[in-house]
Every structure is written in C-alpha cells, then in structure tokens.
Structure 1
Amino acid sequence: MLPSPVSSNRRGTSQHLRTFSSSDLKRALSLLRARSRFTNLSIIILGGCFCVSFLYNLAFIFSSSSPSLVAYTPPQSILSIIARNSTLENLSHLVIVPGHAIWTGTQPDQVLDEDRWTLEEYQRGGGSYRISAFVEHIRRGVEITLQDDTSLLIFSGGQTRLQSTTTEAESYMRLAKSLGLFHPDSEQTHREPYFLRATTETYALDSYQNFLFSLARFHEITGRYPLQVTIVGYEMKRRRFEELHRTAVRFPAHQFEYVGIEPTASEEAARIGEVKNGYAPYKLDLYGCHDFLLAKRLARNPFLRFHSYHTSAPELRGLLEWCPDDARMVYDGPLPWDIYE
C-alpha cells in the first residue's frame, strides 16, 4: 500500500494537537493553580510554626534573667505532695537566724558544751562565750517571732561540715526545741509541742545565701514573699548584711532590720577577720560567685547538696543565677518586692 499523502498526515497531526490543547490545557492550568495555593499555604503554616518555636526558645534562653517571659508551673508530681497550712498563707514577716556551726547535742545541759558543737578551727578554744552568742541568736530570733503573729522564723544553714550528718539549720531548730523556747510558759518536756511558725532552710553555704535562700524558703512555706525581713546575727556583720547583701537582693531598706548580738567577750581578731574575710570580699564580689568566695562555698558543700528554689520560687531564678563578669554589678531583672518601693 502506498503511504498517505503528506498533506493528509499533517492535517491529522494538527487536529490531534488541537484536541490535546483544548481538552488538557485547562486541566493543567487548574492543577498548577491548585499546587500554587497549597504551596503558599504550606509556607505560611511552616513560617508560623518557625516563628512560634523561635520566640519560645528565645524566651526560654532568657527566662533566667527575665522570669516574667515564661510562666512556670511546677510539675504535678511535686504539686500533688504539697498542701500548705492555710494559717501560714497570710504571714508577711520573715525572721532569719543564720547558722554558724552545728550543735550535735540533744539535752539542755549540753548547749554550752564545746564538745557538742561541730566547729571550724578558728571557732575553737574561746570558751563558751562564742557558743553563747549562737544560743543568744536563736533565743532572740524566737522572741521576735513570738511577739509577731505574722512572722515566720527560718533557721538557715546547710550541711557544711564533713564531720556532721546534719545541717546547721536543723541543729539550731533542735537546740531551740530542747530549751523549750517556742513554748516558754509550758512545762519543760522531752516532747515539746510543734510550733508551726518556725522552719529550716538547709542549703545556704554563706551569709548571702542565708538571706536569699530564706526568701525562697518563705515562699515555699507560705506561697508568697515577705513584706518585712528581720535578720538576727553578729553585730560585727551588720554592715555586710545592711550595705551589701540587702543591696544585692534589692530588698527595700525601710522594710529590713538587722538585730546584732555580739559574744560577751568579743574578740578584736574576730572583727578584723570579718572585714578581711567577709565584708571586703563581698564588696568586690557582691554575689559571692567568683574566686575567693566561690571557693568558700565549694569547701562548705562536701556532700554535694543543691537547692530546689528554681522550681519552688521561679520568680527568683534570675537572681539565683546572677553572676556578672563585673562582680559589683547589681541584678537588674524583675523581683517580687519591686512593688514595695
């Protein structure tokens, strides 16, 4: 058979192309448009997710310096075992007694026995006058608390001695109970009734942490932060607390009181030592997180204990972590007591 004429073949091909163009072109264009809409929507969704993720991570990174960026709620495993006493929720006055040593005794007649105290070497050999100052700090702290129904007494001090299995704070509480200080009008018994408005803070390793950690512990107990703070300690440490520690935590001066009590035979060497080893180093390192003061904290933490206040007092996370390169720079983030000013 002879092949079809060229002109006839071209017409068939041309007609076929026209048929393809007219039937499929609209469908192809529609499909392209649909893909375009889908692609644009995907880009918008992915972009939105990226922005949310970026902002959340940014907030998390800076949450230590700006706690208000992220509202923190402790996990349910913690909340399920916390039931605050409703009578403590309206307390507003924090009374702090910082610890200086650990009492290992159990009976009232052992209170002034130096062998019943776990002491630093420089604290030994001075007779009972130094120990009597510790006891007087405890007595005065209890007295102030009993005189104010809105107060919570916190004995503060960690497990700072390798020779002891207890903390400074717990030993102070045990001493107060042994002497019957919380119930002075009742008969002395071996089982003194429980006093609700006194507790311990068992992580502090120095005087700055005595102050800061007690503020956090007050929040753990009451669910709020104190309106007023009273600290009972050595008179020679007054400047350290009033001028340096109070400034470091930015607590209002008009709502802060320091009650100073010295041993009956105060040593000049002790006062010189306070300036050299306490006031002067903190003046240069306001938060105690560099070199000399940091080394002291490390030496006082032989059992590797660490606190829970990032969880229980999240408003203080920025302050808890504040350690600027300029060691005298005051923390500039938000604090719960800013409203008191």
Structure 2
Amino acid sequence: MLPLPISFTSSSRHSRRPGSRHYRSTRDVLLTRARITNLGFLLLASFAAFSFLLNLVWYLDGSDEHVHDHQGPYAAPRGIWETLARDRALKDIDHLIMVPGHAIWKGTNLEARLDEEQWVLEPYQRGGGRVSAFFRHIMAGAELARDDEHSLLVFSGGQTRPSSTTTEAESYMRLAYISNLLPTTSSDILRATTENYALDSYQNLVFSIARFYEYTGRWPARITVVGYEMKRRRFTELHRAALRWPLDRFEYVGIDAEGDTEAAQQGELQNGYLPYTQDTYGCHGSLLSKRRARNPFMRYHSYYSSAPELGPLLNWCPGPAEGGQTVKYPGPLPWDHGK
C-alpha cells in the first residue's frame, strides 16, 4: 500500500461526512500528489497485468504459429527465426513422406515429362525406363500425402549436377506442381516442400527429418520413404538404423524401373548397400568422395541452426577413436522416447 499524501493524512483526523469541509472524494484522493500518484500506480499495475496475460497467451499458444529462439551452440540468430511464422494448419502434421531425388527435370512441357532429353541424367540412367520410375515415385509420394491430411511431402536432393541451375528436389516439386499432384491443407496451405541439400541417400533421410522440423516446428511421428525397390534394404536396414529410428514407425514404398536388370541390382549392392555397411554415416573414403563430387556449387545446409537438436548427430563421423566407422551415434535423439 502506498503512503497517503500528507494533506489526506491530516484531514483524516476530521469528520469525513459529505457535509464536512474536510471531506474528500475518491477522485480527489487518487489525484492527490504524492511520491507517485495512486491513479498512476493503478494504471501501471493494470498495464503490467495486461502485459503478463498477453505474454502468457502468446507463450501457451505460440508454438503453432511462431518460431522460437533456440538455445545451445547451434542457436539461430534472432534475425532469422523472428521472420518465420507457421500457419496453424501445420500443427497437426506428424507424418513425413520423403521422395529422394535421382535426377533433375529441366523441362517445361508436361507432355514431354518422360523424354530423357528433358532430364539431366547420368549415363547409366539412360534407357531402361528410369525417367518413368522417377515420375512414378513423385506420383506415389503425392498420392500418399493426399490420402493422409496429417502428412508433409518432402522432395529431397541437392544441386548435384554442374550443368543445372536448380536442385533435384526443386525440379521434382516443379514437375509435381504442374502435374497438379501436390496436397494442401483445408485452408489451402501447401503440404509439400523441398529439402535442397542432400547429396546421398543417408542425407536424404536425415536432412528430410531436419527439414520437416524446420517447416512444422515438430518432429515426425512416422516416416514413409518412396523410392527404388532395390534400395529398400539400404534405407530400412542401414539408414534408419543409423538414426535409431523405430522400425514400427518406418515404411518404405518401393517402385523399380520396368527395365531394371540383374546388373542394376548388383550395382546397388556393390555401390550402395555394401559401402554403407562399412561406413554407416557415409563420411569416409568412397562415400565421402561421392558427396564432394555431387556438390559442385559448394552448398551447405542450415540445419545446425534450424534443427539444433540434430547438430551432434550431423557431426557424427565415427573413426578409430570411437571404435570404428560403423559405431552408431550414442547421444540423445528427439525421437528416443516417441517425442
């Protein structure tokens, strides 16, 4: 309680009847000068209470609409995260559907989408129905996303070809868009995005999880990958296990090219599956060389700051000091307890 003004204290000894010349109204008391006026105190208190309630509402309700500052060594600068605001429609998204890129579509004519000349391809990707398989991957991923309103479709793949000015993911997204395949929310918010930095299949998976968090503000509860059937074991047995992602929350939809042969299967075994059995995180020898060769534009990702809980995992590259190149990341992960 603030001290009363001297004039009021002295007058309080006298009668306070309305007829008394010492009687003072409540308004007069509030306006009486003191160290701080009582009216000023009430105004300040009211403002403080309103500010507290406003901040409380923002804190309790803001996780769906705002991107908060991160703590720790990979914290995003305020100038970045304060520019981001997520739509409420994304708050129930919990299913990551990832389509890894294998080439770059450079076309503009939907009718020519299966023309190999409209794609940036490696020599071994020509013929055998590979381009048709790429489009079937896109269609299957989009169909799964349209059927599940709680899903986010992520096309993953970096700017891997020196002759292209775009990324694998962006070209897949563009082809899906002009094909009218992309899913939306009930408020017409697009439930599809790109992950533009992955240089191999392991990065397709881990970077897409990071991109999911970057886009929605939460970690996925389920993951579905749509890709080549011949790569099922690589994703399910090796990459998923490297991330310690629960098997019962992981699905793989395999679609091979119609012309895939025994040679293609052997190529996957020798150049994909077996190397990852000896180098789990792809950060040594031939697998590291592939990443470097696929990064002609010197791109690097933002996930250290946008998904900082994955920072130590993204840095994990076990060697002799850790017990060998196949030692699993031992630290905590956001999905350890079903978060």
Structure 2 residue runs of 5 or longer lacking an equivalent are 1-69
Pairs within 5 Å for 1:76-91: 76-91=78-93
Report the 3-state secondary structure (helix = DSSP H, G, I; strand = E; otherwise coil) of the residue aligned with 1:139: helix
Q: Does 1:334 align with 2:332?
A: yes
**TM-score normalised according to structure 1 size:** 0.75
Q: In the alignment, which residue of structure 2 is the partner of 1:103?
A: 105
- Report if aligned partners of 1:106, 1:174 keep a CA contact under 8 Å in 2: no
For 1:135 and 1:294, the matched residues in 2 are separated by: 28
What percent of counterpart residues are identical? 58
Q: In the alignment, which residue of structure 2 is the partner of 1:252?
A: 246
For 2:331 and 2:99, the matched residues in 1 are separated by: 27
Pick aligned residue for 1:290 from 276, 284, 287 = 284
* 1:157 to 1:72, Cα distance in 2 relative to 1, 3 A: closer
- Report if aligned partners of 1:154, 1:198 keep a CA contact under 8 Å in 2: yes
For 1:73 and 1:131, the matched residues in 2 are separated by: 41
Report the 3-state secondary structure (helix = DSSP H, G, I; strand = E; otherwise coil) of the residue aligned with 1:149: coil
Q: In the alignment, which residue of structure 2 is the partner of 1:47?
A: none
Instruction: Select between 265-274 and 223-232 the one with higher mean Cα deviation.
Output: 265-274
* 1:274 to 1:72, Cα distance in 2 relative to 1, 3 A: closer
What is the CA-CA distance between 1:274 and the residue it aligns to? 0.2
Report the 3-state secondary structure (helix = DSSP H, G, I; strand = E; otherwise coil) of the residue aligned with 1:250: coil
What is the CA-CA distance between 1:265 and the residue it aligns to? 2.0
- Report if aligned partners of 2:228, 2:255 keep a CA contact under 8 Å in 1: yes
More helix, by proportion: 1
Where relative contact order (Cα < 8 A, 6+ residues apart) is larger, the structure is 1
Q: In the alignment, which residue of structure 1 is the partner of 2:207?
A: 213
Pick aligned residue for 2:312 from 299, 312, 318 = 318
Q: In the alignment, which residue of structure 1 is the partner of 2:136?
A: 136
For 2:189 and 2:166, the matched residues in 1 are separated by: 21
For 1:222 and 1:180, the matched residues in 2 are separated by: 23
Q: In the alignment, which residue of structure 2 is the partner of 1:228?
A: 222
Deviations 1:253-284 (A, max 9, x none): 00000000011222211111000000000010
Structure 1 residue runs of 5 or longer lacking an equivalent are 1-67, 185-192
Q: In the alignment, which residue of structure 1 is the partner of 2:60?
A: none
- Report if aligned partners of 1:231, 1:258 keep a CA contact under 8 Å in 2: yes
- Report if aligned partners of 2:210, 2:303 keep a CA contact under 8 Å in 1: yes
Deviations 1:210-229 (A, max 9, x none): 00000000000110100000
What is the CA-CA distance between 1:329 and the residue it aligns to? 0.2
* 1:73 to 1:166, Cα distance in 2 relative to 1, 3 A: same
* 1:100 to 1:72, Cα distance in 2 relative to 1, 3 A: closer
Report the 3-state secondary structure (helix = DSSP H, G, I; strand = E; otherwise coil) of the residue aligned with 1:165: coil
Pairs within 5 Å for 1:111-260: 111-124=113-126, 126=127, 129-182=129-182, 196-260=190-254
What is the CA-CA distance between 1:183 and the residue it aligns to? 6.8
Deviations 1:74-117 (A, max 9, x none): 22111121111121122100000000000001121120000000
For 1:266 and 1:93, the matched residues in 2 are separated by: 30
* 1:183 to 1:288, Cα distance in 2 relative to 1, 3 A: closer
Q: In the alignment, which residue of structure 2 is the partner of 1:301?
A: 295
Q: CA RMSD in A?
A: 1.9
For 1:311 and 1:338, the matched residues in 2 are separated by: 21
- Report if aligned partners of 1:107, 1:178 keep a CA contact under 8 Å in 2: no
Q: In the alignment, which residue of structure 1 is the partner of 2:260?
A: 266
**TM-score normalised according to structure 2 size:** 0.75
The count of residues paired between Structure 1 and Structure 2 equals 264
- Report if aligned partners of 1:152, 1:197 keep a CA contact under 8 Å in 2: yes
Q: Larger Rg: 1 or 2?
A: 1
For 1:87 and 1:195, the matched residues in 2 are separated by: 7
